[in-house]
Structure 1
Amino acid sequence: MSADHYDDFAASYDAENQASLLNTFYNKPAILDLAGDVAGHRVLDVGCGSGPIALALHERGALVTGLDGSPAMLAIARERLGEDVPLHVGDLAQPLPFDDDAFDDVVASLVLHYLEDWGCPLAEIRRVLRPGGRFVVSINHPTVRVVTHPDDGYFETYRYTETFEFDGRPAALTMWHRPLRDVLRAFTDAGFRILVVDEPAPSPDTPAELLPPRIASGERSAFLCFLFLVLEAA
């Protein structure tokens, strides 16, 4: 699935995620927490979509650049970010339009699991990161498929499609499962050192009505959904 597939439902996707559990109160705060103090950092947000994380990084003082394959998503991002943040239409499967060592940090939020081949994307991200720069990543947690689809082969890399509803509009998303060992090996083979692997709880600011019952009751503190990593350009 090419990223411009999002053009078909960009507005509804953005509207849905403005107050969603998984994006606004789970993925976004976890990414920002792992990114930490980014004031003055040159940050590339790859797969920036409609720009909510790019905006948060910009508001924290980062010098943000966004890249996404969907022109419609970038049009929404431009409205959100104004003219201060450079935005580029680009495909992660192709060479990135940036110089070597151009960024201090790269953020890839919920984008890598759309790609079958991680070789070129990770090599390019490593290239544009300065030595010692950080790569902050979130992906679908590999073990979730074991729970939801126990008959599928966990140790295989395979494509699957799921249908979601965004602000009342159905949309089919095609993604790739790969086991945890292959996820970690892909990063280290690309020249990254693994600093953090995290499975965080939802933000404490999450409205109770959005939480799964066992989380809202206090019986559980977290749930399996996304996997978060911080990597260093070795």
Structure 2
Amino acid sequence: MSADDYDRFADDYEAENATSLLNACYERPAVLDLVGDVQGRRILDAGCGSGPLAAELVARGADVTGFDGSPAMIDLARRRLGGTVPLTVHDLAEPLPYEDESYDVVVASLVLHYLEDWDGPLAELRRVLRPGGRLVASVNHPFAQVLNAPEDDYFKTRLYSEDVELNGQTTELTFWHRPLREVVRAVTDAGLDLRVLDEPGPSKDTPPELMPPRIASGERSAFFCFLFVVAERPGVVH
């Protein structure tokens, strides 16, 4: 998946992201819960897309900076955020254009699973975190591939594709599957202390009409999508 792909369907992705069960009522609330109190915190939104998470962080009092590899997504984010957030077109696979120890928190919302190599990007995210700062990331849950493609090798880091509906349009997205052990290895090899692996359910504020019956009944196995990671840069917070 390249930035050009997101440029092609940026408007449809933005429309879906704004109100969908998976984004608006599951992934984004879960990330915000894990980030916690952000008043006065400097936060880097890595892979900010059209800016919905950045907007919520700003509303909660954070000082936010963002980047994304898609120029079209950054254009949408600038329209949403105005001049409140410095935004840059940048590829997470490349060294980051930020100073060492610049941020209290880095959020990487549904972005790392587009990368085959996590070692370089995670090292860069660690570099820009202050000692005691945290990375909060969400990715496609690796166990979902066991259910969706049981014939494939779970333990192999590999490319796969899925057809997803964005604002009523079917689009093929490509991701990198990596087993859970590789998720953990990449985080710890980057010099980050793993604090949380989480698998939350949808937000309690989800509109009833968005909840499929099995999820509404409380069957957790009916909702198996993303894995959430919180990791900390060792050191004393100043």
TM-score of the two chains, using structure 2 as the length reference? 0.95
- Within 1, Cα distance between the matches of 2:222 and 2:148? 17
User: Hey, what does 2:173 align to over in structure 1?
Assistant: 173
> Gaps (5+ residues) in structure 2?
none
AA at the equivalent of 1:144: A
**Pairwise CA distance, 1:219:** 4.2
Instruction: Tell whether the 8 Å contact from 1:201 to 1:222 is kept in structure 2 after alignment.
Output: no
AA at the equivalent of 1:179: P
* More displaced stretch, 61-70 vs 210-219: 210-219
User: Hey, what does 1:125 align to over in structure 2?
Assistant: 125
User: Hey, what does 1:225 align to over in structure 2?
Assistant: 225
- Within 2, Cα distance between the matches of 1:165 and 1:102? 37
Equivalent positions of 1:44-59 (< 5 A) are 44-59=44-59
* More displaced stretch, 123-132 vs 22-31: 123-132
AA at the equivalent of 1:180: L
Instruction: Tell whether the 8 Å contact from 1:26 to 1:203 is kept in structure 2 after alignment.
Output: yes
User: Hey, what does 2:43 align to over in structure 1?
Assistant: 43
Task: For residue 19 of structure 2, give the secondary structure of its aligned residue in structure 1.
Answer: coil
For the structure 1 residues 4 and 41, does the alpha-carbon distance in structure 2 shift closer, same or farther, using more than 3 Å as the test? farther
* More displaced stretch, 102-111 vs 203-212: 203-212
Equivalent positions of 1:1-234 (< 5 A) are 1-220=1-220, 223-234=223-234
- Within 2, Cα distance between the matches of 1:24 and 1:221? 20
AA at the equivalent of 1:71: P
Deviations 1:196-232 (A, max 9, x none): 1110010011112212221212344872110001110
Q: RMSD in angstroms over aligned alpha carbons?
A: 1.2
- Within 2, Cα distance between the matches of 1:159 and 1:183? 15
AA at the equivalent of 2:180: L
Instruction: Tell whether the 8 Å contact from 1:202 to 1:222 is kept in structure 2 after alignment.
Output: no
AA at the equivalent of 1:91: D
- Within 2, Cα distance between the matches of 1:86 and 1:5? 23
- Within 1, Cα distance between the matches of 2:233 and 2:4? 29
**Pairwise CA distance, 1:38:** 0.7
Task: For residue 77 of structure 2, give the secondary structure of its aligned residue in structure 1.
Answer: helix
Instruction: Tell whether the 8 Å contact from 2:214 to 2:222 is kept in structure 1 after alignment.
Output: no
- Within 2, Cα distance between the matches of 1:179 and 1:218? 27
- Within 2, Cα distance between the matches of 1:160 and 1:131? 36
Instruction: Tell whether the 8 Å contact from 2:51 to 2:80 is kept in structure 1 after alignment.
Output: yes
For the structure 1 residues 6 and 193, does the alpha-carbon distance in structure 2 shift closer, same or farther, using more than 3 Å as the test? same
AA at the equivalent of 2:136: V
> Gaps (5+ residues) in structure 1?
none
Q: Indicate the percent of aligned positions where both proteins have the same amino acid.
A: 65
Instruction: Tell whether the 8 Å contact from 2:106 to 2:135 is kept in structure 1 after alignment.
Output: yes
Deviations 1:121-160 (A, max 9, x none): 0011011111110000000001000011100100000001
- Within 2, Cα distance between the matches of 1:161 and 1:231? 28
Deviations 1:96-136 (A, max 9, x none): 00000011100000000000011110011011111110000
Deviations 1:39-84 (A, max 9, x none): 1111000010000000000111100001100010111111111101
